[in-house]
Structure 1
Amino acid sequence: MRVLKFGGSSLANANRFLEVAKIITDKAQQGAIAVVVSAPQGITNHLVYLADNIASKTAIDQGLGQFQQASTDIINALSNQLSGFDGDKVKAHVSDLVGQLDRYLEGAHLLAYCPEHINARIISLGERVSVSLLEGVLTAQQYQVSTIAPEKFLFTNNASLNAVADLAKSKAQYAEHYSELSGIGLMPGFIGTSADGQLTTLGRNGSDYSAAVLAVCAKADACEIWTDVSGVYNADPRAIPSATVLDYLSYQEAMELSYFGAKVLHPKTIGPLAQHHIKCYIKNTAKPDAKGTLIGNERSKGDSVKAISNLDDLTMINVSGPGMKGMVGMASRVFAAMSQANISTVMISQSSSEYCISFCVHSADAKRAKKSLQQAFELELFNGLLEPIQLQQKLSIISLIGDGMQQQQGVAAKLFSSLAQARVNVIAIAQDSSERSISVVIEERKATDAIKVCHQNFFSHHQSIDVFLVGCGVVGSELIDQIARQQGALAEQNIDLSVYGIANSKGMALQSGGIDLNNWQAFIEAPSQRVALTVEEIKNFVRENHLINPVLVDCTSNEALAMSYVEYLEQGFHVVTPNKKANTDSWQYYQALRTAAQHTKRRFLYETTVGAGLPVIDTLQSLFRAGDKLHQFQGVLSGSLSYIFGKLDEGMSISQATAIAKENGFTEPDPRDDLSGMDVARKLLILAREAGMALELSDIEIEPVLPSDFNAQGSVTEFMNNLVQIDEYYANKVSQAKSEGKVLRYIGNIIDGKCKVSIEAVDGTHPLSAIKDGENALAIHSRYYQPIPFVLRGYGAGAAVTAAGVFGDLLRTLAWEQVS
């Protein structure tokens, strides 16, 4: 025999009943079966609401009508779709059930109180409706049906609303009443009976448990749980879309998963099946041919961690104080108080100093638990031997589960590294001696983030980069194009890089699921998509969408945004930027940036602030970490000035060279920003600070390209027209240098702790003499590199190389150390 159980989602409407009947009749061709059914979807919740609102006559009257109408709708639909379905007979039976419900509710209303045994009778009527409907369907299809009444054999303890079955007595009674069951057995789930004959229920969603008990009593070969998913997943698929179905679980793994929140299984279900070695299958009603998950007796093989589960809506209770230490029996008194209050303890943790016992209960039981403890320890609390009982609410338990975890090194370390990556604080930890599960208590609001990172690191090995791009000008637009081109290649490397926000002068446009980069221009222009560019707005978006690796990419030169980097770092964002304003503000702010990054374990990456795409910053940081020390630095640090001064060598005037550089996009829109020398000064200051020099921008000696007596006022057009006035001045300087066998270069120098940017005439032996056409070059004289300097050279201007450098920094935000 096989026992089949169908949940409420499988019986939501007439079509679902017909699908279930098809599965049942197909199985009946293969051998004897018994079927356990839940109430149609939503019915039990409705009945619980009625029992909880017993004082309201209006709620009762409306509820009765809604209960009958929901049943009648299914009956009418079945009558229309299924020939031979006796709708009148089923309606008469449902009408009897409505009459019973009316009497229970009326009596409880008169008492202004609903006793638990009456509550049990009220909330169990939905399963009886399902039996009547399914019996009508199967009878119409010419199948013989035998109704199994759980009141006759499924004996439980006296807990009316969360009863536990007495398997030995139930087996004996089943053999007495149903030893020769004929046809298809049909039983309402969720229902039992106490020794004194009162109806009990097996806890919410307890029909799975009913099926397990029936399977034991009927000595079934297997128990099949049919639901709306294709098996047990390695994580909650609602939170983790990439979660996969597990082919096999051991009984022990299944019990751990069901206990710690796996919605597919009732926690009590596996115990009876494991005790009697009955296989259990989890199957999908909508996909009956899908393999599903098999739960059996063999120990799982393969991956050390089989699944991740979470149990929400928990409260941690802390019992602590000097009276705990060394006192024999304190723990037993704590949990005796919970037992007397009929409160289930979910997880326990105790400090090694014996000063504190912490345990989790379901939040619905928290107030009762506190009251029970206050009564049990009244004297200790009064005399100050115990501190006031503390409740910490809105918590979740995250559990790693797997037989293969036993004696497997590194699992706990990987778990805690993952939680750190998700910026999740661990409140308590528990692991049993079997090493089959590790559980941690965390804030409920961070549970999805924790599961997402753990699933990535233990199963998918995918890493994510969640980008918020500010500035979609020349560099920003190029960066978007580069990301769009590379997304396929990155996906092949298990890297999910998505742009969730793009900001321009009008605000930040955000899109859950990521922006379509092939149509981003139109998207950001839609007013409905835009929000203000603030840390709070973007932080709320990240939290609502459970993004775990958010990166702010600033492709502007905006000073106000640069001054907010510390806030972004403190809120969990990496910051990637070619904007030099933050690193060249005060030394105090420079230090604050690094402190914030270190404290929050976020990355502040600014490779492109010096040398565009050249690996300048990373190279210097590696040298200095290895113990090198800067003695002297010389560099051509401006791609635009490299281009302009290179053209002067070729005989071009400075006005012509500047105009071409502007036309080619080498300069800023206003070339005065380049010719002032301030851009080079900022880059030189960044390099000096990397070398440990606590300098300010005002400490840099700057010789601008424009002569001091030149009038640089007016519009950009006026300025460009007036630039011809200094052509002769530079022609003379170039001629003088050439007569000495030298060329002019705009160079940044660091020597003896002092920084200067100026025009220099250098000969052919100088490492910077050949630098032109937009190239940058840096000559580093250090402890390790002398007398011949270490030289970095390459293009230092242009949107493509700058965007590529930013892209490279983006990829450095990946937490590769988390994957092993």
Structure 2
Amino acid sequence: MSYFGANVLHPRTIIPVMKDNIPIVIRNMFNLSAPGTMICKQPANENGDLDACVKSFATVDNLALVNVEGTGMAGVPGTASAIFSAVKDVGANVIMISQASSEHSVCFAVPEKEVAVVSAELHDRFREALAAGRLSKVEVINGCSILAAVGLRMASTPGVSAILFDALAKANINVRAIAQGCSEYNITVVLKQQDCVRALRAAHSRFFLSKTTLAVGIIGPGLIGGALLNQLKNQTAVLKENMNIDLRVIGITGSSTMLLSDTGIDLTQWKQLLQKEAEPADIGSFVHHLSDNHVFPNKVLVDCTADTSVASHYYDWLKKGIHVITPNKKANSGPLDQYLKLRTMQRASYTHYFYEATVGAGLPIISTLRGLLETGDKILRIEGIFSGTLSYIFNNFEGTRAFSDVVAEAREAGYTEPDPRDDLSGTDVARKVVVLARESGLRLELSDIPVKSLVPETLASCSSADEFMQKLPSFDEDWARQRSDAEAAGEVLRYVGALDAVNRSGQVELRRYRRDHPFAQLSGSDNIIAFTTSRYKEQPLIVRGPGAGAEVTAGGVFCDILRLASYLGAPS
């Protein structure tokens, strides 16, 4: 520590106190209430935590890296001696040395103010070797810094280097040279001086913060996003205490304003802060704020919108190393080539992309399907009532009630979109079928799914939702006739999406089911999905539960955030 930048401690002052086992306490004169740092022998009660073996990080700035390279160096005794003899002759101080095992190169760091004379002396000393081609170059890289991880127990702890380099990689920092002695008391890396502070923050956060500290950016603080923020507010302290998961929301953006923080937004008053301290929304600046924050090792963007333009950015976010979680169906049901490109980037960038809530809100539909496929089961058919809105409408379309009255009731209760035609068209159900098809390995486009719309053709061109609702009663007799025909056969009407994996096809339409069928026994806005597989052929595997509402959808997104934390190392 004293060598690598802690200037108040000269190495020679440490020797006598080490001999007599005298502890050293370093205090901050600008903050006397801070506990400071104690340097002493290893405490007897110190546990074997991997991160505890690294005690500090230190840096040295204003360095230059000198690289002497050539095939003629291999197997020639005295080359390294000649190099460092030249450095000694000009009075330069070597800070760090690294040599490749192939013996083709030797690189070392010297103070930047001394590199000019070092380079000149090396070129003069090895003039003949350079001319003959035995040495290919003497290269100088200016503007470098050293970052050193220091700790006594590093010598007996595997994996320290992996953690350090993983932290630097996630911060998008390139390492120019590495040195580690066999004593393993420190690991030293050379990097660009402009990256030094960022590297120090990234390494410090990885070793001294929670392993699963997540910097979270929320896009769309509306119904779903707002519910998610409230759930995070209520659960963050519990997760940190019980599971060592530290969730920091450092950004919230809507369509017009955004709220940013370097260390975490106070979620007890996020609405007030978004009104008082927000700045104009800019998705590029918002993402840059998240990706450029190197205090926290892991970043995740949560898209709670239904916006196609937001979904179009997923590829770039994954490329930057940012995880993505969303209930937005647009990316997974959009053009197939863009979807395949997105998944390829996700795998190549070693990031996570979770979207459980795209199909069943908080229901475990995607995870159930993946579990079946990953354990070797074969999907034969998937059929379900995927729309909570249409489930509510047909569950309540009973007795003598008019269809238009039920739709109006659903609209007033907030189950439908502002324009009910968006639900009655069936497009949303078709998107969910496409999501499941692609998850099952079928390369289907949205246009491959025939959809039987519930919007009468003559009403599709209505200029407003109110006009549509005014004219909808004229079709109540047609709906009453369909209901009577079904009831006469002991059946009910249900709007379903179906995927035939064997024939690689799907469809969305209104169907009739007997009253003892599971699809006929729903209530409220429940969803139900039946998986027919090689294992579940006689009796389909059924997942049923609430399929609409901000709270359950936000809960599904929250589960994906915790799933991400688990993948990153949180205890199960």
Pair in the same fold by TM > 0.5:
yes
Cα distance in 2, alignment partners of residues 367 and 819 from structure 1:
50
Structure 1 residues without counterparts, runs of 5 or longer: 1-256
2:481 alignment partner, one of 729, 732, 742: 732
What residue identity is the alignment partner of 1:266? H
Question: Residue 524 of structure 1: CA displacement?
Answer: 2.7
**Displacement after TM superposition at 1:571 (Å):** 1.9
Paired amino acid for 1:782: T
1:64-101: per-residue Cα shift (whole Å, max 9, x none)?
A: xxxxxxxxxxxxxxxxxxxxxxxxxxxxxxxxxxxxxx
Give the conservation status (yes or no) of the 8 Å contact 1:448–1:546: no
CA–CA separation in structure 1 for the residues paired with 2:66 and 2:533: 60
SS in 2 for 1:483: helix
Q: Which residue of 2 aligns with 1:597?
A: 346
Is the counterpart of residue 639 in structure 1 residue 378 in structure 2? no
2:94: which partner in 1?
A: 345
Corresponding residue of 2:471: 722
SS of 1:649's equivalent? coil
Kindly tell me: are residues 819 and 757 of structure 1, through their superposed partners in 2, closer, same or farther at Cα, counting changes over 3 Å?
Answer: closer
> Which SS does the other structure have where 2:116 is aligned?
helix
Match of 2:25 in 1: 282
Distance 1:448 1:511, change over 3 A: same
Map 1:427-442 to 2 at 5 A. 427-442=176-191
- CA separation of 1:289/1:755 partners in 2, compared to 1, >3 Å: closer, same or farther? closer
Partner of 2:58: 310
- Which residue is equivalent to 1:519? 269
**1:294 CA displacement:** 5.7
Kept after mapping to 2: 8 A contact 1:636/1:771: no
**Aligned twin of 1:370:** 119
Asked if 1 retains the 8 angstrom alpha-carbon contact of 2:198 and 2:294, the reply is no
Answer yes or no: is the 8 Å Cα contact 1:776–1:794 preserved in 2. yes
Change (3 A) 1:328 1:691: same
**Residue correspondence of structure 1 range 638-717 to structure 2 within 5 A:** 638-717=387-466
Between the two proteins, the alignment pairs up a number of residues equal to: 561
State the shift of 1:654 in Å.
2.0
Distance 1:288 1:561 in 2: 48
CA distance in 2, matches of 1:818, 1:346: 36
1:576 is aligned to 325
Q: CA deviation at 1:397?
A: 3.4
Please name the residue that 1:412 is paired with.
161
1:670–1:364 Cα change, 3 Å: farther
CA RMSD of aligned residues (A): 2.8
* Distance change (3 Å), C-alpha of 1:320 and 1:759: same
Deviations 1:121-147 (A, max 9, x none): xxxxxxxxxxxxxxxxxxxxxxxxxxx
The residue that corresponds to 1:498 in the other structure is: 248
Contact 1:449 1:547 in 2 (8 A): no
1:808 to 553, 559, 562: 559
Are the counterparts in 2 of residues 457 and 818 from structure 1 also a CA contact under 8 Å? no
Bigger CA radius of gyration? 1
Are the equivalent residues in 2 in contact too, given 1:308–1:451 (CA < 8 A)? Answer: no
Contact 2:388 2:527 in 1 (8 A): yes
Assess if the C-alpha contact under 8 Å between 2:28 and 2:36 holds in 1: no
Amino acid at match of 1:305: C
CA contact (8 A) 1:470 1:556 kept: yes
- Secondary structure of 2:288 counterpart: helix
Tell me the CA shift for residue 272 of structure 1. 5.9
Give 1:796 shift: 0.6
3-state SS in 1 of match to 2:332 = coil
Instruction: Call closer, same or farther: CA 1:740–1:808 in 2, change over 3 Å.
Output: same
Which residue pairs with 1:798 in the alignment? 549
Query: C-alpha displacement at 1:619, in angstroms?
Result: 1.9
Aligned to 1:319, the other structure's residue is in SS state strand
Partner of 1:266: 10
> 1:708-732: CA deviations, max 9, x gaps?
3444512111112222122211111
Alignment-mate amino acid for residue 521 of structure 2: A
Where structure 2 has 5 or more consecutive residues not aligned to the other structure, the ranges are none
Deviations 1:524-569 (A, max 9, x none): 334x742442335531564256443222221111111111111111
> What does residue 507 of structure 2 align with?
756
Post-superposition offset of 1:373:
2.4
* Deviation digits for residues 312-343 of structure 1 (CA, Å, limit 9, x no counterpart): 42433222121222221111122222222322
Q: TM-score, normalised by structure 2?
A: 0.90
> What does residue 789 of structure 1 align with?
540
How far does residue 514 in structure 1 lie from its aligned partner after superposition?
Answer: 2.6
Q: AA paired with 1:605?
A: F
Shift of 1:449: 5.0
Q: Which has the higher contact order (CA 8 A, sep 6+)?
A: 2
Identity of aligned residues (%): 38
Which residue in the other structure is 1:508 paired with? Answer: 258
The verdict on how the C-alpha distance between 1:817 and 1:554 changes in structure 2, with shifts beyond 3 A counting, is closer
CA contact (8 A) 1:394 1:443 kept: yes
**1:354 lines up with 2:103 in the alignment:** yes
* Cα offset, 1:483, TM superposition: 1.5
The alignment status of 1:768 with 2:511, answered yes or no, reads no
**Larger displacement relative to structure 2 (734-743 or 676-685):** 734-743
Q: After superposition, give the CA deviation of every residue in 1:263-303 in whole Å (9 maximum; x if it has no partner).
A: 552344324655x647463354858899865656x566535
**Aligned partner of residue 679 in structure 1, secondary structure:** helix
1:484 pairs with 228, 233, 240, which one? 233
Q: CA deviation at 1:436?
A: 2.2
Q: Tell me, what secondary structure is at the counterpart of 1:732?
A: helix
Give the AA of the match of 2:472: L
Give secondary structure in 2 for the equivalent of 1:797: coil
Q: Structure 1 residues 529, 706: closer, same or farther in 2, change over 3 A?
A: closer
